[in-house]
Structure 1
Amino acid sequence: MPRLQVIVWMFLGVLLGPASFVFAQVNTSAISGVVTDESGSVVPNASVTVTQAATGLIRKVETSTSGEYVVPQLGPGRYEVAVQATGFQPATARDVELAIAQRERVDFTLKVGAVTEQVNVSGRAEITETETASLGQLIDRRTVQDLPLNGRNYLTLGALSPGVIPQTSNQGPASFISSTTARPDRSILVGGQRESSTSYLLDGVELRNPRVGDTSVNPSLDAIQEFKIQRNFFPAEFGNSPGIVNVATKAGTNEWHGSAFEYIRNDKFDARNFFSPSPEPFKRNQFGFSAGAPVKKDKLFAFGNYEGLRQRLGVVQRGLYPTQKLLSGDFTGENPIYDPLTFDPATGTRKPFAGNIITPDRINAVAKNFFPYIPTVNGPTVQGANLVGTPVQKLDDNQETIRVDWLISQKHSLFGRQTWQNAPLIPASLVPFGGQLTVSKGWNEVAQLTSSLTSTTVNVFRAYHSYAQLFGQQVTVSSNLAATIGITGVSSTPRNWGVPNVGWQGYSGVGSNGLTQGNTINSYELADTFSWVKGAHSMQFGAEVRQSRMFLDSDNSPRGSFTFNASWTAALDAVTGNPVVGTGQGVADFLLGYPTNMNGAVGTSQTHFRFYTDNFYAQDDWKITRGLTLNYGLRYEYVSPPAAEELSHVFGFDFNTGRQLFPLLGQIRKSIIKPDFKGFAPRLGLAYNPQWAPSWVFRAGAGIYYDQSQLNEVQFTTNSPPTFFQQNFNYTGKGLPPAQFGVNALPVVPVPAIDANYQTPPGTNLFAEEIDGRKPREYMWNGSVQKSIGANWLVEAAYIGSQSRRLSKRYNSSAPAVPGVLYQVVPGTQRFPNLNGMLYSSQAGKGTFHALNMKLERRFSSGFSVLGAYTWSHSIDTDSGGSFGSPNLNPANFQLDRGSSDFDIRNRFVTNVIYELPFGKGKRFMGSSSALANQIVGGWQLNLITVFQSGVNRNVTSPNTSTISFITQRADATGIDSGSSFTTAGGASITPGEGFGSNNRSLYWINPKAFAVTPPLRFGTSGRDLISGPGFWNWDVSLFKNFRVSERVTLQFRAEFFDALNQVRFNPPNMDVSSPFFGQIQGAQAPRIIQLGLRLQF
């Protein structure tokens, strides 16, 4: 839909909404309080006037018979609260700062006297939260603008909150979003939930991409007023997620304000990476401007922002590739290789190649055609790599925000905003035509009206449109290379052209299978909220109706993928017939053209889906006594199952008959999945602020929360025959090889038409989604204690817990039987023997989470603020919702996969400080400096972020020789302590985890002898996520110098130091037991980085 039509649609929807209009942002905040006289008696019917300082917006209410007042549906900002009552002196509280999603309490004690006598009271709000059990952390405007942020990404600040984990590096948890988008800065994990479970709201607009869960727009810091992390318990107004990032944008005011800025980084300022001889090539420029102004004072306001990013990053990549000697067939000095064609059925053995050499006439022609795409290396192998390079990754990011606020009258206002971002990422690759191109684009428009119907009722009506486009596609070329090389049974569509994937055991692979994952989605929403204050009750009733249309593209392996794991050139055990460990070479298997695994696909999975979201809620905050508030509410959520427009592209599966079911033939509903109408989500919270201890607050809350089903799983209804046909073959290496490059590898199979006689072609990899689909459900609870110390200090301790059910979980539902608790696979017992395998997306996952959060906070006052947060937590689940290709190991026993979550970080401490140095005019030291002296000694500011974090968990993996497809095989545990010392083949004594900074010392994190390659036809014996990687600590520091240009204009110079102490932050070790790097740390995060910036602020 063209942009103009979208905007017209939204404003028509608004104008056809409620008859009265008012001004609002994300109007989820309120000012409340009680008015008493000097004796403590309540004052009813007092007039309370709330005025927003920046725009002149006025709201008037009266106190109830109990002296209480509530002014709901206010946006964040600074307010003045004035109270008048007959027989009393008027009282005014100025500079009341109201944050997003906050209920701020301002009480008044009136004195008897004439109305001409004015009493001013402190407008400083209470730092404790006395009227809500909600847990969260406000990140205010000063924090957003002043703290050092590498990349200027606001989500980095979200990790300052207790219970929040950033997804910003290899030191974070294993990330499906990062692997799909190649952008680890587009998501965070909140309150022990999966990364796809976090909702991102921008002025009430949902930014979360429903396919993978990342944010479709990452707004500029200069467009953000403030934001709040809401977790574990929040009112019924919010839903569709157990964790929320709630962002409010800046607006125009009665005064001109804005900024112009540029930040510069390059490798000239940077330290070198621990694994690099010199700093990687790097250049980054971030630049932009913002401006807000009155179009008409007290009536019409405008704000605009633009930010650009240009980044060129040299990425250190290491690989071990076959040498020219090996590619010529000469394996002298390597493992002995055996000729697979000499297999003798009588003895069950093979004969070795003479001299351990494959003669040129035996080298497969298709294998030779791959040679130009294998990096040429003839140098020595150093730390397991014979090729090291720094290819350049390119990122160009542009975004803009435009906002208009119209105060039609003191009761009626209109607000509209549009935000747009486009950030394509071109990959860096060590091999020809490697890497994934990521296309990321998003925009949204919102129009919101609020209606102050009476002094006790307010209505908010909102309409919005959101668009998100995200595609991760392997680099393509201008010709059909697969056909040129000689690969059959793969896609011939130009968008899939490229180098097919080849992998060898013990070496780095080349090419890619051409996996394309992406979607575009358009969503339109109408929402209405009615607020009603009745006595001690502050009630809200709301409804949200959303329609979405999504285009899904999930072509998996359209170029083909071939794995060579040395089985065909290994010696065979005369008794078992299995390949003998320590013999054979994967590269030799490749030269002969005999793969152990191969897969490829033809056709298309591209499909359009439609679905609807309906939410209804009621919420009441009941002020039972002066110090006791009950928060209770009920929410109902319904999300319709996505229904395909191209019915020939989707199917269901009948487990009784083993046949596919097609809506095109009327065999199953169009949506495939049954609707789930059980979406009731009650909330109950309590906040107690005892009058005998007014500095203490005791809070507790519990509720049911639903998460959106990850729409990435919808691909399971499209990614199979007949419209998309994928073949997969696994071989054990026994006997004679059944398939060879250029002969019968990936045969071309005709795809039959859909009719009543359709049969799934044998050997197919089938994908299916659970028909009885249910929304993921979270049971969440918390208890917390807050203590204020003085006016600005807060101490908080909180316990939070949750239990997750119906989580997305993948497994091969056609796998052979694995009886009892044994690990041995029983061949020939597949549930559906005509299938190679069926990857099944179910809702059978479970999880639990427990955490202790402790926080010390000093809000900004007298030039200083600090926030320190410690989290101890433990997350356990049966599946962490990871990337494609890592489903559960044993479909017959899910408990084998129960363990610490991929995102389980046991200990995390983070603190941030903002400190205006006390020098210069008006400060503690040199306060009477001259204007010239003040330009030198005054205006300095120091800011820092410090993080201490324990390591993340990883699986120890092994090549999959179980004959079961769609699993990530785990290695065998040998019984040796993974942290014990060992001796290398060269005689060196190694203690894992020691000697990381010394020359020629080990980079081993674990003893590799603690694990072994899993033998064929069984599962590995090691547990899930068994190894915890290295933790880290980090200091980010910035120093500002502000130069006063005029009374309202400041020029700011910024020097920012990331990892200021240059502490090495190691990545998790290589966990592939078959890799020559197994157990070793192979990479580290960026070292010390210096960024310089210049800002003009007015």
Structure 2
Amino acid sequence: MPPPRSRQLSSQIRDPNLHRHSLHAHSCRTTFRHRRCSRRPQHFPRTTPIDPGRTRGLTTSFSEAPMRILALPQLRLLATAFFLVFTALTAAAQSTGSLQGTVSDSSGAVVPNATITVTDTATGARRTVKSDSAGSYQVPALTPAAYTLDTTAPGFSSARTQGVVVSVGTTVTTNITLAVSGTQQTVNVTAAAPVVDQTGISVSQVVDQQIVQQAPLNGRHFVDLGSLIPGSVAAPANGFLTQPIRGQGALSFDTAGQREDTVNFMINGINLNDMIQNQITFQPELNTVQEFKVDNSTFSAEYGRSSGAIVNIATRTGTNQLHGEAYNYVRNQFFDARNYFNRQFTVSGVHVRQSQFIRNQFGGDAGGPLWRDHTFLFGSYEGLRQRQGVAVNTGVPPAGSVGADSTITQLLAILPAPNAGASTFVSSASALATIDQGTLDVLQQFGSNDHLHGFYAIQQDSRNEPLAPTVGDTIPGYGDSRPARRQLLTVIETHTFGSNAVNEARIGFNRVHITFTPTRAVNPTTFGISDGINSAIGLPQITITSLGLTFGGPSGEPQGRGDTLGVLSDTVSILRGKHSFKFGGEYRRFLNDNFSSDTGTFVFSTLNTFLADEVSSFNVTPGNRPSRIYVNAAGGFAADSWKIGSRLTAELGFRFEGNGTPSEARNRLVLFDPASASLVQVGAAGFGSVYSQNYNYEPRVGFAWDLYGNGNSVLHAGYGILYNEPETNLVTPLSTNPPFAVPVSLTTSTPTPSLTLQNAFSQSQAAKSIAPTSVARNFRNPQIQSWNMEMEQRVSATLGLKLGYMGSKGTHMQMFLNQNQPINGVRPFKALSATSSIDPGIALTNVFESASVGNSNYNAGFVSVTKAMANNLQFNGSYTWSHALDYNSYNLASTTQTPQDSTNPRGDYGPADFDTRSHFSVSGVYTLPFKSNRLVEGWEISTITALQTGNPFTVETSLANNGVVGRTRPNQLAGRVPTSFALAPNGNVQYIPQAVCKTPAAGCLWASPGAGFGNARRNAQYYPGLEDVDLGLQKQTRFTERLRFNLRADAFNLINHPNLGQPNSTFTPGGSPGTFGQISSTRFPIGDFGSSRQLQVSAKLVF
């Protein structure tokens, strides 16, 4: 019989789109399910909760939920409103750029009142400004593009500066020198963005269109480019949002020592995050992305809501020239190398077919003028059709197994027979992914002072998972289907007031609707199973631990959610002498309308207890559990870029964030109050909100010092205080507490005939106890202090070098604690008090509470080189050394994320799960210089290469005698733990020794902690690093001046390096070591990254 499955495998296949509600007494896998889909406030329609049969055609009304913006006394609310109005209406992240500079004559004297006309060379759009008394000028809110500057002044000749490139979120300094009257001058600037930033205070980088469109990207997901930025690292194997989802890629990336859910994605200045858990709602089709900028540390006061990177995405617009393309990208397993663990033969000699993989990504786009120089359109469509094989290798009951009752007999009949030995089943299944995405971009120029920019995107996607990987099923037939619709709308109106003031007003919404429905809709009563479910939603999820077999379910389904985020924002930019002021603000309203059901879970410890129908544990939360979580939030900022002298610029800013407490529209949230040992409904007397700390004050300060006054050597530094807006996943589990949901669970210390599949529900009700989820009353928004210093040097006009340091310190970080953890075998709260208004006197088990008691620390040094496109070559390269430490690394309501000892969370201080000591990356494009005929010209090579050290993991024991549920570490008996890449007899990699024991003995590395807590440190071991070389080769054939054909081949993981995942790090003291210490999969086996060598071919017609 095979050993139990590795925890590492289940950790690699969790889906962040799933709604996580309830812990109670669920198993580890079930716990993972109930936490990753309800994290941010949202806005969805309807006056009745959605249910599995009524999830289409939802509409949104911003007026449905009560308008409790911040629930403050009236005077404070008025004061806050006054501040917002005064500052001009959160930081509307810049999807635009700016130009600034000084106009002077040949002697260096400033020229006031000069007229500068800035013209977009692609659309003909013009803006005109005048230099002030100090000769300074500024042109904010420019669409990323190449510009021409025409400058005139009385008594001077006109001057033209051509090819000035403005990138998203950047300020380009272009000084202009005028000659005396009688001569005319034209200055040509290299058509590339400046390689040195002369004004900013953040560690940032622009990823331009050349890299976005030409770099080899497996799956064509722009988020994967985030790991190329200094401070960013490839995602760990146990990430959640950073794990690629089948067909859709990753939903975030790890950067600057911050948690994966702190990255703020903005498209044209509108929030693109699903606030359930602050993940990107969907990735815009790659051809719609003009470029994007990542601000990685200590950004301007203009940005708020999150402490991680700010990702500003600028979309492509139409121009005065009609242009477009049609393309098809094809991948097939026949071109791919086998996955390292998908070998041709198993250790027992069974032939295994190569896992199937067929993918087509196809589409096209077109843009041009509807009215030349005035109205421009750009539209795109992309489709994806993907079929991916899923390997099946699991233990099953041997042939001829006999059940003790009719229920077990029926279950044995639906299980596959062994085909690889006496009790092993080897097979494969197909997972399907379908995506259709369309976009439309409209740009209207009303004149030199007004333009309107609108962008709309819609995506329909569907996934059919044969194994329900989120909960760890091991045989096909018990998966689910996951259809979704995602939409985004942004509208921006830019108006120029006079010569030195510009206003940007934005409105937008971001919406997602997704459901999860079990593939096999079965009424469990037809099998004689008593789990409290009497409808055809699915079998309960059943696990036989000794076989590593899980089937049925999926638990926690059916479920679904509809999320809508609405945003209003406004930003004003004003130039006054040496001061460049910016004021602005934002209002957000978010609604999450969701439902969740449960099929329940049964666990049998061994095959014999399964055949005898002796259940070890049972958990279920019957019924359909709806909730409607909403949040209102507002913020404002004031910033001043003060040019103290010709070489020194100070950046000063202050930001206010008012993050409303997530609320439920019908007061269906219930807290545990430790002061009275009671369950209290939020909205009752004394409990008007889940928590009350909502106001955050965020100063930002920094400088940019041009050391020699020539713009070639610039020193930047910055410091800021930032806060993270809590996700709505923080409070959603509160809707599953009694009386709105009645979770039932029962666990026996040893399997017993008294608990069977046929009587589990009645037995559990007789021994009723509850395990409520709660949020600390003194919960606070997580705070991050961030700082950096960076030296930039221009080596040439197209080559720049950066050397820098960045660091941060986090306090009030969200953690999940067990407030009813046994102390010396006794729980602090044995039962709810007799005065509790809900379930008085009922027994209590664990009380898991989200609290803001964590800390984090991060330090990094980096060096990066940027080569703008010139002489056929462009590249970006960076190396980062970093060390990230924290108490925990995820905002998960999960027993696997609680500290070993909830009374001592500091005891878990150690390397963060994403800690990566060294990371090197390079991306580049090189056009071969051959020219003579169509055969030899038009060849291009591109690459993305990433090398990094491994991430940490924790050795844990699954059996503790201290009464603690969750993570218990053993006693470590030796200092250094050896590692190897030797193959185990079962074909896995034996990475660390299986030197485990129940009591200390010779040769043991780890032993059971007994009745106490182990001394092994959290994240003390590191699994293997990552080596990934991707290479693209393209041949462009030009038929006419405007028509060309591109043929391309991409190789991902060119060197076929096996990027190993995380080992199984949990052992049972006194039992078989099983797969402990073994690695059984590559880093991301179901995604587009970190697997074996894969080849892709594509064709594109461009006009």
The TM-score range, normalised by the shorter chain, is 0.7 to 0.9
Equivalent-residue separation in structure 2 for 1:513 and 1:964 (angstroms): 28
Structure 2 residues without counterparts, runs of 5 or longer: 1-44, 47-56, 64-84, 345-352, 468-473, 833-842, 997-1004, 1083-1089
1:973 is the counterpart of 2:975: no
- SS across alignment from 1:837: coil
In the alignment, which residue of structure 2 is the partner of 1:222? 287
Does the CA contact (< 8 Å) of 2:656 and 2:698 recur in 1? yes
- SS across alignment from 1:268: helix
Match of 2:675 among 639, 656, 667: 656
1:444 is the counterpart of 2:502: no
Shift of 1:978: 2.8
Equivalent-residue separation in structure 2 for 1:55 and 1:942 (angstroms): 31
In the alignment, which residue of structure 2 is the partner of 1:985? none
2:949 partner letter: S
Equivalent-residue separation in structure 1 for 2:595 and 2:96 (angstroms): 37
1:1094 partner letter: A
1:776 is the counterpart of 2:782: yes
Deviation larger for 430-439 or 601-610: 430-439
Does the CA contact (< 8 Å) of 2:814 and 2:891 recur in 1? no
1:778 partner letter: I
Closer, same or farther in 2 for the Cα pair 1:1022/1:179, shift >3 Å? Answer: farther
Deviation larger for 387-396 or 1015-1024: 1015-1024
Closer, same or farther in 2 for the Cα pair 1:180/1:84, shift >3 Å? Answer: closer
Q: How does 1:827-842 map to 2 (within 5 A)?
A: 827=826, 830=829, 832=831, 834-842=843-851
Equivalent-residue separation in structure 1 for 2:517 and 2:867 (angstroms): 48
Match of 1:377 among 413, 418, 435: 418
1:606 is the counterpart of 2:671: no
Does the CA contact (< 8 Å) of 2:647 and 2:709 recur in 1? no
Closer, same or farther in 2 for the Cα pair 1:891/1:1068, shift >3 Å? Answer: same
Shift of 1:831: 5.5
Does the CA contact (< 8 Å) of 1:489 and 1:601 recur in 2? no
In the alignment, which residue of structure 2 is the partner of 1:511? 552
Shift of 1:896: 2.2
1:629 partner letter: T
2:135 partner letter: G
In the alignment, which residue of structure 1 is the partner of 2:1098? 1093
In the alignment, which residue of structure 2 is the partner of 1:855? 864
Closer, same or farther in 2 for the Cα pair 1:955/1:832, shift >3 Å? Answer: farther
1:899 is the counterpart of 2:966: no
In the alignment, which residue of structure 1 is the partner of 2:368? 293
Match of 1:249 among 315, 332, 344: 315
Show CA shifts across 1:452-510 (max 9, x none): 01101111111112212344x462423312x233333434454x423423231462333
In the alignment, which residue of structure 1 is the partner of 2:239? 174
In the alignment, which residue of structure 1 is the partner of 2:437? 399
Does the CA contact (< 8 Å) of 1:1063 and 1:1087 recur in 2? yes
- SS across alignment from 1:55: coil
| TM-score, length-scaled by structure 2 | 0.84
Closer, same or farther in 2 for the Cα pair 1:550/1:728, shift >3 Å? Answer: same
1:40 is the counterpart of 2:81: no
Shift of 1:413: 1.7
Shift of 1:1061: 1.7
Closer, same or farther in 2 for the Cα pair 1:513/1:1038, shift >3 Å? Answer: closer
Shift of 1:965: 6.2
2:883 partner letter: H
Relative contact order (alpha carbons < 8 A, sep ≥ 6): 1 or 2 greater?
2
Does the CA contact (< 8 Å) of 1:872 and 1:907 recur in 2? yes
Q: How does 1:316-395 map to 2 (within 5 A)?
A: 316-324=391-399, 327-328=401-402, 363-377=404-418, 379-380=420-421, 386-395=424-433
In the alignment, which residue of structure 1 is the partner of 2:936? 937
Does the CA contact (< 8 Å) of 1:233 and 1:702 recur in 2? yes
Does the CA contact (< 8 Å) of 2:744 and 2:764 recur in 1? no
1:859 partner letter: A
1:873 partner letter: S
Match of 2:324 among 239, 252, 258: 258
In the alignment, which residue of structure 2 is the partner of 1:787? 793
In the alignment, which residue of structure 2 is the partner of 1:1005? 991
- SS across alignment from 2:1066: coil
In the alignment, which residue of structure 2 is the partner of 1:477? 520
Match of 2:512 among 468, 471, 474: 468
Match of 2:569 among 503, 520, 527: 527
Closer, same or farther in 2 for the Cα pair 1:1068/1:976, shift >3 Å? Answer: same
Shift of 1:618: 0.7
Deviation larger for 27-36 or 256-265: 27-36
Determine what percentage of the aligned residue pairs are the same residue.
27
In the alignment, which residue of structure 1 is the partner of 2:337? 271
1:210 is the counterpart of 2:275: yes
In the alignment, which residue of structure 2 is the partner of 1:986? none
In the alignment, which residue of structure 2 is the partner of 1:813? 819
In the alignment, which residue of structure 2 is the partner of 1:112? 180
Shift of 1:117: 2.3
In the alignment, which residue of structure 2 is the partner of 1:1046? 1040
Does the CA contact (< 8 Å) of 2:93 and 2:266 recur in 1? no
Shift of 1:787: 0.9
Match of 2:1061 among 1063, 1067, 1076: 1067
In the alignment, which residue of structure 1 is the partner of 2:579? 537
- SS across alignment from 2:791: strand
RMSD: 2.9
1:448 partner letter: I
Does the CA contact (< 8 Å) of 1:716 and 1:769 recur in 2? no
Deviation larger for 723-732 or 856-865: 723-732
Does the CA contact (< 8 Å) of 2:799 and 2:866 recur in 1? yes
Show CA shifts across 1:885-920 (max 9, x none): 312221111122111111112211111121000101
Shift of 1:673: 1.5
Does the CA contact (< 8 Å) of 1:93 and 1:123 recur in 2? no
Shift of 1:974: 4.2
Shift of 1:368: 3.5
Equivalent-residue separation in structure 1 for 2:747 and 2:907 (angstroms): 24
Does the CA contact (< 8 Å) of 1:211 and 1:710 recur in 2? yes
2:903 partner letter: A
Does the CA contact (< 8 Å) of 1:475 and 1:498 recur in 2? no
1:316 partner letter: A
Does the CA contact (< 8 Å) of 2:216 and 2:1031 recur in 1? yes
1:1056 is the counterpart of 2:1076: no
In the alignment, which residue of structure 2 is the partner of 1:231? 296
In the alignment, which residue of structure 2 is the partner of 1:134? 202
Equivalent-residue separation in structure 2 for 1:376 and 1:643 (angstroms): 50
Shift of 1:1012: 5.2
Closer, same or farther in 2 for the Cα pair 1:130/1:663, shift >3 Å? Answer: closer
Shift of 1:122: 2.9
Equivalent-residue separation in structure 2 for 1:41 and 1:1017 (angstroms): 80
Q: How does 1:180-195 map to 2 (within 5 A)?
A: 185-195=250-260
| TM-score, length-scaled by structure 1 | 0.84
Does the CA contact (< 8 Å) of 1:164 and 1:189 recur in 2? yes
Q: How does 1:667-682 map to 2 (within 5 A)?
A: 667-669=685-687, 672-682=689-699
Closer, same or farther in 2 for the Cα pair 1:966/1:1005, shift >3 Å? Answer: same
Shift of 1:1009: 0.5
Equivalent-residue separation in structure 2 for 1:747 and 1:179 (angstroms): 41
Shift of 1:710: 2.0
Does the CA contact (< 8 Å) of 2:146 and 2:166 recur in 1? yes
Q: How does 1:428-443 map to 2 (within 5 A)?
A: 428-429=466-467, 430-443=474-487
Shift of 1:398: 0.9
Does the CA contact (< 8 Å) of 1:163 and 1:853 recur in 2? yes
1:1062 partner letter: N
In the alignment, which residue of structure 2 is the partner of 1:727? 744
- The count of corresponding residues between Structure 1 and Structure 2 is 975
Deviation larger for 632-641 or 1016-1025: 1016-1025
Show CA shifts across 1:311-361 (max 9, x none): 000122432334336x44xxxxxxxxxxxxxxxxxxxxxxxxxxxxxxx7x
- SS across alignment from 2:98: strand
Equivalent-residue separation in structure 2 for 1:311 and 1:631 (angstroms): 48
Deviation larger for 1044-1053 or 1014-1023: 1014-1023
Equivalent-residue separation in structure 1 for 2:189 and 2:245 (angstroms): 51
Does the CA contact (< 8 Å) of 1:807 and 1:844 recur in 2? yes
Does the CA contact (< 8 Å) of 1:94 and 1:122 recur in 2? yes
1:1082 is the counterpart of 2:1080: yes
In the alignment, which residue of structure 2 is the partner of 1:122? 189
1:701 is the counterpart of 2:718: yes
1:151 partner letter: G
2:1017 partner letter: G
Equivalent-residue separation in structure 2 for 1:963 and 1:387 (angstroms): 37
- SS across alignment from 2:1067: coil
In the alignment, which residue of structure 1 is the partner of 2:889? 880
Equivalent-residue separation in structure 2 for 1:724 and 1:220 (angstroms): 41
